[in-house]
Amino acid sequence: MENEAVQSAKKPGARGEVYDWIQCIVTALVFCVLLFVFIVRLVDVVGPSMQPTLWNGDKMIVSNLVYTPKQGDIVIFKKTQFKDEALVKRVIATAGQTIDIDFSRGIVYVDGVAMDEPYIAEPTMNQIDFVGPQTVPEGCVFVMGDNRNDSTDSRDSRIGMVDTRLIIGKVYLTVFPFSDFGSVYK
């Protein structure tokens, strides 16, 4: 009789434990959904335009939570008139700054000062259809890929100055491949 009483006491406890586990799993799933819908996104790099910083197929954590673009940030944005998928580029100049490029020497100038760009693959020789100097209008940014001679960016009139409302977010981390896990800002 004692064994039956012990077993019947365990059964409700086992059910309660299973219920607790299910509740924990559902809570974790809801948290993850809310996190990835409202706070961060996982985005893939498509193409070679950001090499050597980011490579084709890299997966990045991106967020737009209380974000204002700054010079040097890597951002994801949509320009559906150019391409359906999101583009990843580096912010070179923000509203009110003037950008000019000396294509014969491969040097980018912002407000008359040559940029220190240790992250680029090679000097900027590909003009596309850029004619400078240009001042970035209010509410826009000028973006370029780190692989300057194999990047379609603000130098191309099809992209031009990027309206900040089109920015999906700032890239914070590379999460895949695991060998490249970490911050994109070195």
pLDDT in tens, 139-157: 999 999 999 888 888 998 8
Alpha-carbon torsion 95, 153, 167, 83, what sign?
positive
What distance in Å separates the CA atoms of residue 127 and residue 131, rounded to the nearest whole number?
A: 8
- Active site (annotated) includes residue 8: no
Known catalytic residue at 83? no
Paired strand residues for 107: 102
- State mean pLDDT over 113-123: 90
For 134, list phi and psi in degrees, rounded to 5: -130, 140
Model confidence at 9, pLDDT cuts 50, 70, 90, reads very low
Distance CA(76)–CA(132), nearest Å, equals 24
Catalytic residue among 79, 89, 154, 170: 89
Catalytic residue among 8, 11, 49, 104: 49
**Average pLDDT of the chain to the nearest whole number:** 82
Per-residue model confidence as pLDDT tens digits over 18-74: 888 888 888 888 776 766 666 667 777 788 888 888 888 888 888 877 788 999 999
Overall pTM surpassing 0.85 (yes/no): no
CA torsion through residues 181, 184, 185, 186, sign:
positive
What are the DSSP E strand ranges found in 46-97? 59-63, 74-79, 83-94
Residue with tokens 């999906």: 168
Q: How many residues does the chain have?
A: 186
**C-alpha to C-alpha distance for 60 and 176, rounded to whole angstroms:** 7
User: pLDDT tens digits, residue range 173-183?
Assistant: 777 665 666 66
Task: Give the burial class of 53: count Cβ atoms within 10 A of its Cβ; 0-12 exposed, 13-18 middle, 19 or more buried.
Answer: buried
Torsion of Cα atoms, 126 then 128 then 131 then 134, to 10°: -90
pLDDT > 70 in the chain, percent: 83
3 state DSSP class of 90: strand
